[in-house]
Chain A
Amino acid sequence: LAKTTQPISMDSYEGQEVNITCSHNNIATNDYITWYQQFPSQGPRFIIQGYKTKVTNEVASLFIPADRKSSTLSLPRVSLSDTAVYYCLVGVYNAGNMLTFGGGTRLMVKP
């Protein structure tokens, strides 16, 4: 299973764009890259997923370079409510090939 490395914590201010990068040097051909957000006392919430190039939804964008050895979650114009832990996962959600959540990145958005 591909191991992921992401910063332990990041600080930002309201209205700024935040980019969180995840390294996954051992990503396999079939692996997807998935990001979750978790608030205190809640379960993780799916944000975005991609395989290559760029994916955008109403919440975030995900940039994946051609070699797929890293990915960047981009949160446009963050607000205080975006303060959370963000997890990067790499793999395939099929039975028998389970994923591991790492420590995540704790994002603190300040006023």
Chain B
Amino acid sequence: DVKVTQSSRYLVKRTGEKVFLECVQDMDHENMFWYRQDPGLGLRLIYFSYDVKMKEKGDIPEGYSVSREKKERFSLILESASTNQTSMYLCASSSTGPGNQPQHFGDGTRLSIL
């Protein structure tokens, strides 16, 4: 089974802090994604990466950056955390294969910015 592991289930930070969310997958997947999920808004894509050191903006990249130095690890960075970034953050990975390869998700990090 594919395993996507997010470093923290719950995290509390203060406004203005630099926040790192880490995600690791164990299936040698090429693609990795970061989403946030808010009540009534569903999942929204922040950034994705289709290869090491490659990144592409999703729907809501403002206030975030990402890093992918190794294939298995994809980090989401909140440069200066703000209260409107309080949310559930979900990491996912997928293979680049024939047909359509589904995304596999971690269990999320519930981040609170005070």
Residues of B within 8 A of A70 (CB): none
Bound-state Cα–Cα, A102 to B4, Å: 22
B61 to chain A, nearest CB (A): 12
A93 touches B4 (CB 8 A): no
A41 touches B108 (CB 8 A): yes
A49 in the interface, Cβ–Cβ < 8 Å?
yes
A66 in the interface, Cβ–Cβ < 8 Å?
no
A12 to chain B, nearest CB (A): 22
Q: Is the interface of B mostly helix, strand, loop or mixed?
A: strand
Sorting the interface of chain A by its residue count into under 10, 10 to 19, 20 to 34 or 35 or more gives 20 to 34
A93 touches B103 (CB 8 A): yes
Bound-state Cα–Cα, A1 to B38, Å: 22
Bound-state Cα–Cα, A34 to B28, Å: 22
Bound-state Cα–Cα, A95 to B51, Å: 10
B105 touches A93 (CB 8 A): no
Residues of A within 8 A of B42 (CB): 87, 100-104
A46 touches B104 (CB 8 A): yes
B59 in the interface, Cβ–Cβ < 8 Å?
yes
Minimum CB distance partner of B95 in chain A: A93
What does the 1/0 interface line of A4-34 toward B look like (CB < 8 Å)? 0000000000000000000000000000101
A-B contact pairs, 15 of them (CB 8 A): A32-B100, A43-B4, A44-B43, A44-B103, A46-B103, A46-B104, A94-B96, A95-B31, A98-B45, A98-B48, A98-B58, A100-B45, A101-B35, A103-B40, A104-B42
Q: Identify 14 new A-B residue pairs, CB closer than 8 A, beyond the known A41-B110, A43-B91.
A: A34-B100, A41-B107, A43-B90, A44-B103, A45-B105, A49-B102, A87-B42, A93-B31, A95-B50, A98-B48, A100-B45, A101-B35, A101-B42, A102-B42
